[in-house]
Amino acid sequence: MSVLNANCLAIYFDGTGSTSKYTVNNDYADLTAVNAGVTDAGLTIYVTPDKRTFITFASYSSGTGTAGTLTLAAAATSSTLDLSNAVEDVARDGSGGTLQESETSWSISADGLVKGTDDTGEDFLDLARDNKYVLLKFEIDDVLYFGQALIDNVSVTGAVDEIATYSISLTGVDELYKA
């Protein structure tokens, strides 16, 4: 039996953040194909054609790719990733059986320490107030999952002369990709 390292959630935002969902492009099989095929594109999440594997988060100008500048908003001291499938009956199959479809949704909740006052990055309260999308990396052992999300709820707690903590819940937008 192996022990899973479940304390590996990091929440990022790009530059000043985005109030629009990032574009997802699934036209390329790998990073080499992305670099060879994309000439001009704003910040885009590139995934494989089956929409399951994350390739890169980058912008392209005149065929040159520049990785998105990710600013760490916070790392979590504890976190929970929930992925669920809503199964729905859609039709009969002609043999007395039922055809079903499934829609996947995911969410993350996390707790952690509030960053230091000397950190100039944008904090969760501002990201939530401005309805900005964040990018999540969740690692289980050596397997990385990547996705974009919106903040549902954030709370900051602190007492005099104590370290402030946060609790946050986020809802995933689109797929949760494996890297």
> Is 3 among the domain residues?
no
Label residue 115 by pLDDT band (50, 70, 90). Answer: low
Q: How far apart are CA 105 and CA 82, in angstroms?
A: 8
Q: How far apart are CA 71 and CA 82, in angstroms?
A: 24
> Is 2 among the domain residues?
no
The total domain count for the chain is 1
Whole domain around residue 72: which residue ranges? 9-178
Q: What are the tokens at 70? A: 């990710």
pLDDT in tens, 120-176: 445 788 888 899 998 888 887 778 889 999 999 988 888 888 888 888 999 999 899
Q: What are the tokens at 88? A: 């729905």
> Is 16 among the domain residues?
yes
On whether the CB atoms of residues 48 and 69 are closer than 8 A, the answer is: no
Mean pLDDT of 97-101: 69
The residue behind tokens 């992925």 is 83
